[in-house]
């Protein structure tokens, strides 16, 4: 019995999807478990020469591996339909036959998304970097005891109708409180009009019941107990973690292995566990938030995630030893997956300089609030020279990874070098 947990060590977009797809081919798992986040994930996999973006389905789907959306995920039924249709177009005949959703998974609605976007747009220049799909709103509502829908509610039409009406009324009041305290743009007014559309609840009832006829609602822990080889597919990255990240530019979930470990513990899993941290040689960030080594002159032509969308621009920077070692300390992985090794950095950030001129050599040395302090820092670089491609891996192991071993390296979509038998033995 073995469970492999795959998490990002950056701000997301590290290569988790390709890693899961590759491991699905190599270890033939019984199940891929999504254990945080929701439809805001964008895990790109190259299949039959064509790029595909996974959001809620696991990235092992093209290998025929079933997906479990666990109780820690936020499920968007409408986007499930869209993703299933795209999977069919990419050659997967029956996507929903591979999907299992935990009965307790919080379920998103259009109302959550409208309010999420109203709140984010009202922040103007102080936006948090939200994807605008309503996950943060639903997370806050669940914690506060506000009306919340679980995936099991989709199978009881009268309960579903009542839940949607309760959520709609609550979100209208929440939006009004935001709009009363901020200048209104045309975009915010249009979102509020859509939120108040009286026909929306019944439209969602029809669509959600259609999803319920297609998707198997399960006891997620029982599904884990049935499996002997598991892959856990994380979303976002350690630097966006709700506790370890740099508030307010965080995601409302634990992005490290914590949720996966909790699921394994609750299921009574007694097999071997391994955590892989995925990082790329060219750090990136989507949307707002501090990024000390950002360099607009940098661009990597084969990047999958260049579309800005609601979240904001796709940003690129130089290798940052401080942020990487901070993420490693938070996650404590058993091994590293290093992606984009065809890119050869010419410098690495080894320290920051504060406005006062003081040198900072560790994230722990930054004053609170760390997001503001990080935004004010300027990188201190050391030049590096790399000739053979293998030297990129050596550079990271010697200068960046604090003795954490690179067990897999990838220099192209779907192509991996196996440097350890830790996961495959």
Q: Which residues are catalytic?
A: 13, 43
Any idea what the Cα angle at residue 51 is, between residues 49 and 56, rounded to 5°? Answer: 135
Residue 390: how many other CB atoms lie within 10 Å: 12
- How high is the pLDDT of residue 301? 54
Kindly report, residue by residue over 181-211, the tens digit of the pLDDT: 667 788 888 999 999 999 999 999 999 999 9
Checking if the pLDDT of 127 tops 70, the result is: no
Checking if the pLDDT of 400 tops 80, the result is: yes
Counting every residue, how long is the chain?
A: 425
Q: Are residue 211 and residue 232 in the same domain, yes or no?
A: no
Output the known binding site for Mg(2+). 13
Kindly report, residue by residue over 243-263, the tens digit of the pLDDT: 999 999 999 999 999 999 999
Query: Is position 424 within any domain?
Result: no
Q: Are residue 201 and residue 234 in the same domain, yes or no?
A: no
Mean pLDDT on 361-381: 95
Mean pLDDT on 5-13: 97
- Total domains, the chain: 2
- How high is the pLDDT of residue 146? 96
- How high is the pLDDT of residue 188? 87
Output the known binding site for IMP. 13-16, 236, 251
Checking if the pLDDT of 45 tops 60, the result is: yes
Q: Are residue 281 and residue 374 in the same domain, yes or no?
A: yes
pTM reported for the whole predicted model: 0.94
Output the known binding site. 12-18, 236, 251, 340-342
Q: Are residue 311 and residue 365 in the same domain, yes or no?
A: yes
Query: Is position 199 within any domain?
Result: yes
Query: Is position 59 within any domain?
Result: yes
Q: Are residue 409 and residue 315 in the same domain, yes or no?
A: yes
* Domain encompassing residue 158: 106-215
Q: Are residue 318 and residue 380 in the same domain, yes or no?
A: yes
The region of weakest confidence among 104-113, 131-140, 383-392 is 383-392
- How high is the pLDDT of residue 310? 64
Q: Are residue 234 and residue 276 in the same domain, yes or no?
A: yes
The CATH code of the domain that includes 147 is 1.10.300.10
Q: Are residue 401 and residue 344 in the same domain, yes or no?
A: yes
Output the known binding site for GTP. 12-18, 340-342
Alpha helices in 267-335 (DSSP H): 321-331
Q: Which of 197, 215, 233 is the last residue of a domain?
A: 215
Q: Are residue 287 and residue 403 in the same domain, yes or no?
A: yes
Query: Is position 152 within any domain?
Result: yes
- How high is the pLDDT of residue 265? 99
The b-or-e profile of 295-323 (16+ CB within 10 A means b, else e) is: eeebeeeeebeeeeebbbebbbbbbbbbb
The CATH code of the domain that includes 247 is 3.40.440.10
| Alpha carbons 352 and 379: distance in angstroms, whole number | 5
The b-or-e profile of 344-364 (16+ CB within 10 A means b, else e) is: bbeebbbbbeeeeeeebeebe
Query: Is position 403 within any domain?
Result: yes
- How high is the pLDDT of residue 304? 52
Q: Are residue 43 and residue 151 in the same domain, yes or no?
A: no
Closest CA to 279 of 324, 239, 346: 324
Q: Are residue 28 and residue 80 in the same domain, yes or no?
A: yes
- How high is the pLDDT of residue 107? 98
Q: Are residue 278 and residue 352 in the same domain, yes or no?
A: yes
Q: What is the mean pLDDT of the chain?
A: 92
- How high is the pLDDT of residue 122? 84
- How high is the pLDDT of residue 309? 63
């Amino acid at each position: 019995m073995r469970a492999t947990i795959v998490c990002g060590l950056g701000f997301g977009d590290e290569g988790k999807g390709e890693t899961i797809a590759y491991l699905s081919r190599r270890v033939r798992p019984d199940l891929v478990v999504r254990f945080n986040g929701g439809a805001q994930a964008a895990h790109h996999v190259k299949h039959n020469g064509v790029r595909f973006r996974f959001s809620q389905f696991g990235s092992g789907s093209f290998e025929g591996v079933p997906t479990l959306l666990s109780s820690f995920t936020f499920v968007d039924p409408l986007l499930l339909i869209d993703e299933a249709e795209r999977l069919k177009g990419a050659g997967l005949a029956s996507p929903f036959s591979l999907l299992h959703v935990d009965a307790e998974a919080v379920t998103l609605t259009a109302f959550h998304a409208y309010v999420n976007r109203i709140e984010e747009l009202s922040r103007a220049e102080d936006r948090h970097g939200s994807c605008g799909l309503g996950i943060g709103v639903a997370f806050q509502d669940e914690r506060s005891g506000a009306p919340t829908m679980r995936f099991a509610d989709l199978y009881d039409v009268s309960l579903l109708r009542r839940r949607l009406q309760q959520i709609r009324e609550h979100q209208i009041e929440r939006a009004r409180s935001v709009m009363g305290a901020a200048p209104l743009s045309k975009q915010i007014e249009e979102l509020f009009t859509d939120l108040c559309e009286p026909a929306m609840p019944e439209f969602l009832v029809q669509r959600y019941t259609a999803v319920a006829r297609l998707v198997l609602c399960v006891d997620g822990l029982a599904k884990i107990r049935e499996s002997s080889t598991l892959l856990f597919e994380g979303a976002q990255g350690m630097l966006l973690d709700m506790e370890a990240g740099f508030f307010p530019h965080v995601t409302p979930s634990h992005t490290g292995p914590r949720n996966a470990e909790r699921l394994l513990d609750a299921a009574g899993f007694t097999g071997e566990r391994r955590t892989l941290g995925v990082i790329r040689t060219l750090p990136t960030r989507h949307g707002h938030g501090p990024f000390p080594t950002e360099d607009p002159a940098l661009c990597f032509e084969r990047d999958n995630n260049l579309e800005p969308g609601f979240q904001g621009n796709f940003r690129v920077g130089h290798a940052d030893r401080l942020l990487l070692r901070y993420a490693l300390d938070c996650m404590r992985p058993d091994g590293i997956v290093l992606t984009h090794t065809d890119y050869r950095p010419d410098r690495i950030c080894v320290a920051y300089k504060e406005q006062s001129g003081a040198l900072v050599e560790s994230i722990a040395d930054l004053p609170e609030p760390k997001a503001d302090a990080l935004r004010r820092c300027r990188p201190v670089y050391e030049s590096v020279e790399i000739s053979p491609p293998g030297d990129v891996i050596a550079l990271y192991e010697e200068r960046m990874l604090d003795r954490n071993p690179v067990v897999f390296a990838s220099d192209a979509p779907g192509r991996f070098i196996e440097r350890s038998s830790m996961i495959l033995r």
